[in-house]
Amino acid sequence: MQSFRTELELQPQNDGWVTIEKDIAHLADKIAQFREGKTNPEKFRSLRLARGVYGQRQQGVQMVRIKVPGGKLSFKQIERLAQLSEEYSTGNLHLTTRQDVQFHFVSLDRTPQLWEELERDQLTLREACGNTVRNITASVLAGIDPEEPFDVNPYADALFRHFLRNPVQQDLGRKIKISFSSSERDTAISFIHDLGFIPKVEIVNGKIIRGFKALLGGGLGAQPQAAQVAFEFLPADELLSFSEALIRVFDRYGERNNRQKARLKFLVAKIGLQEILRLTEQERIAVGFIKREISSSAVDTPEVPQQAFTTFRVTNQNEFQQWKNTNTFEQKQKDWYGVYVKVPQGNIASHRIVKLAEIAKKYAADDVRVTIGQSLLLRFVHSSALPALYRELAANNFTSIGANAFADITSCPGTDTCNLGISNSTGVAAALEKVIADEYPQLAGSADLSIKISGCMNSCGQHAIASIGFHGSSLKSGNAVVPALQLLLGGGISGNGSGNIADKILKFPSKRAPAVLRTLLSDYQSNTNGNATFTDYYTDKGKDYFYQLLRGFSSVEAISEEELVDWGTEQKFATQIGVGECAGVKVDLIATLLLEAEEALSYAEENFSEGRFADSIYKTYNALVQLAKALLLKKGIQVNTQIGIITDFDKHFSVREIIPVNFRELVEQINKSQPTSAFAEKYHNEAKLLFKSINSFEKQITNTLNPQLN
């Protein structure tokens, strides 16, 4: 089947600098209109979220999220991020579990300028938040993993570029998260993603064919769910068409009113995996292609340092060896190493990361990765350079052991900045890291143990898949409210797309977390002698064993004054939960919907004039759905999916009096026709005719509506 998307759209800066500038100018205009009271606040919030601008717990300032596809940063990009953090933020960079970089305390009015500065070094805010396809994560081991069947970097990059500014994902019912693992060890945790890909190869007629095990419908949050297998082997040349077709199905059939039920995992539960796959296959004709080759050399391989360091020796061989054992690994490329640098709670000062980049330039490739564990990975360090690199890292306090292992605790910002945070997560993470370093150093480098902490049940810190997980909560003790943590045990990655969701054990006051951890680790060591994984230990003992072991910590009969104060603060605790923005917002205002419909129709014309026929068709489709939704709402009819809107419109409006086809037949031409120039023009003209006819018949239509709603 012929492809109608241009190759330009798969290249860096795919819409060109002109489109980027228009995008930034659009945000600036909307900010000005918002300040003047001319833009609906809820609609404005939805718009800025899709451009990476997120409201903080503190009023009047924003968190800005910067997408880092696959977590890959060049030295130049690191230096730019550090400079911009000093200029626009607090001089701190926060690394996230989705390989993004976040700035906090940014002025809303300065976000367009910040965005423009970032784009000059090929960094973007576009679709970093909101109801979109979020940053596509990829294993930091991709390209260097001794166990990988092939390098997934080009495929993750191609999918990122395919979806960037793609109309099919600008206003979904909820966010979509996608990951690429490097091997069957599932190094990017595919089973908790809406779409997860694990590389596979098959031999057909003596030829090696690349593909992916594709998993669908995973997610964490308050109701964690492991993904199901969509394909044991999806050919790599079908990656783009399958992914877009699936997003189109989710856009049309996914829940839109109740955001607690709007993730892809709930659609899987509602209509079943096989029905979703049937609809997805049906939708591929609208994408415009089935197969598209992705060049395995599409992503440049950075140059590696050529200098040799064979004459250098470290002073303290024991400390060096311990660091090497816990923070480095040999790549699939002989004599080359990956080196992890621990970033506590994902927070690093701008001057610190600049210094790290200066050191790394001497010893590593120009390819630094943000890990899903919130640390950094230097790649292609020659074995002969490890002692010299260690000396410089140690001199600048970058050699904390256990990076990307047990001693490296994952933590979201929690109540430091997040509206949804209930109790502090960063403070308790620092306290628990100290317990491990001081009392259990022998476990620091363990890859079989993990601690993950979230400030609330939404699992931004991924607590639901940790060996030992915590999420923020609260307890009542008389009239007092006590900051608390919910303990979960037994989560983890099994490999090849499967894993364990942790069990909830009990809740206890937050300040008791170090004692809880000591009890757990001491019991683990005494019962296993280090000869069993924590997962095996938990499975063998069972949930009730741990409840009995720890239940004494949950008592609130004798709460101390210290326990009424959360980590990282001096004030007595009080729950202050704001309105969360991670999932976007629901906007059902009739005037706003009509305006959006008109804007979508205008964008469709613009896309058509640029030869982007698939984009034009989808914008036309969006315009039709928004128009129908507005008219249904005006009649007092609530519909919570796009397919519901399309189906119900004909029940309540006699469209045949206006155009010689019913509304559903008109709209659903989108998934029955290839995105050719001829179809794009025909579809758009029919939509314009409907808009014009409805305007002409406005008085007649208004008279049929509920008078109380007019």
In this predicted model, what pLDDT tens digit does every residue of 221-236 receive, in sequence order?
A: 888 999 999 999 999 9
Using one digit for the tens of pLDDT, what is the confidence trace for 424-480? 889 999 999 999 999 999 999 898 899 999 988 888 889 999 999 999 999 988 888
Average pLDDT over residues 18-40: 88
Using one digit for the tens of pLDDT, what is the confidence trace for 112-156? 999 999 999 999 999 999 999 999 999 999 999 999 999 999 999
Task: Report d(CA 218, CA 344) in Å as an integer.
Answer: 28
Burial (Cβ within 10 Å: 0-12, 13-18, ≥19) of residue 442: exposed
List the one residue out of 171, 173, 84, 167 whose CA is nearest residue 121. 84
pLDDT reported for residue 13: 42
Burial (Cβ within 10 Å: 0-12, 13-18, ≥19) of residue 456: buried
pLDDT reported for residue 582: 54
Question: Higher pLDDT residue, 408 or 587?
Answer: 408
List the one residue out of 356, 331, 362, 355 whose CA is nearest residue 341. 356
3-state SS track over 77-146: HHHHHHHHHHHHCCCEEEECCCCCEEEEEECHHHHHHHHHHHHCCCCECCCCCCCCECCCEECCCCCCCC
Q: How confident is the model at residue 42 (pLDDT cuts 50, 70, 90)?
A: confident
Q: How confident is the model at residue 657 (pLDDT cuts 50, 70, 90)?
A: low
pLDDT reported for residue 306: 75
pLDDT reported for residue 108: 95
pLDDT reported for residue 542: 95
Task: Report d(CA 454, CA 449) in Å as an integer.
Answer: 17
Tell me whether strands 207-216 and 53-55 are parallel, antiparallel or unpaired. unpaired
Task: Report d(CA 337, CA 331) in Å as an integer.
Answer: 5
Average pLDDT over residues 303-308: 76
> Phi/psi at 543 (nearest 5 deg)?
-60, -45
- Report whether pLDDT(103) > 70: yes
Task: Report d(CA 5, CA 362) in Å as an integer.
Answer: 42
Q: How confident is the model at residue 310 (pLDDT cuts 50, 70, 90)?
A: low
| Residues in CB range of 457: below 8 A, 6 or more apart | 221, 222, 471, 472, 473, 486
pLDDT reported for residue 638: 85
What the block records as the tokens of 494 is 């099994």
Q: How confident is the model at residue 662 (pLDDT cuts 50, 70, 90)?
A: confident
Share of the chain above pLDDT 90, in %: 67
* pTM exceeding the 0.75 threshold for the entire prediction: yes
Q: In what order do the strands lie in the sheet with 92-95?
A: 53-55, 62-66, 101-106, 92-95, 347-349
* Greatest Cα pair distance in the chain: 89
Domains in the chain and their CATH numbers? 1-128 (3.30.70), 131-300 (3.30.413.10), 317-347+369-395 (no CATH), 410-564 (3.30.413.10), 590-709 (1.20.120.330)
pLDDT reported for residue 572: 84
- Report whether pLDDT(513) > 80: yes
- C-alpha to C-alpha distances, 548 to 469, 518, 537, 543, nearest whole angstrom: 18, 15, 15, 9
Task: Report d(CA 548, CA 52) in Å as an integer.
Answer: 45
- Report whether pLDDT(660) > 70: no
- Report whether pLDDT(364) > 50: yes
pLDDT reported for residue 156: 97
Q: In what order do the strands lie in the sheet with 410-411?
A: 410-411, 451-454, 468-477, 480-489, 503-509
- Report whether pLDDT(344) > 70: yes
Task: Report d(CA 405, CA 446) in Å as an integer.
Answer: 6
Q: How confident is the model at residue 244 (pLDDT cuts 50, 70, 90)?
A: very high
pLDDT reported for residue 151: 97
pLDDT reported for residue 577: 52
Using one digit for the tens of pLDDT, what is the confidence trace for 146-195? 999 999 999 999 999 999 999 999 989 999 999 999 999 999 999 999 99
Task: Report d(CA 564, CA 326) in Å as an integer.
Answer: 37
Q: How confident is the model at residue 702 (pLDDT cuts 50, 70, 90)?
A: very low
Q: What is the average pLDDT value for the chain, to the nearest integer?
A: 88
**Amino acid identity, residue 21?**
E
List the one residue out of 672, 691, 585, 688 whose CA is nearest residue 628. 691
- Report whether pLDDT(210) > 80: yes
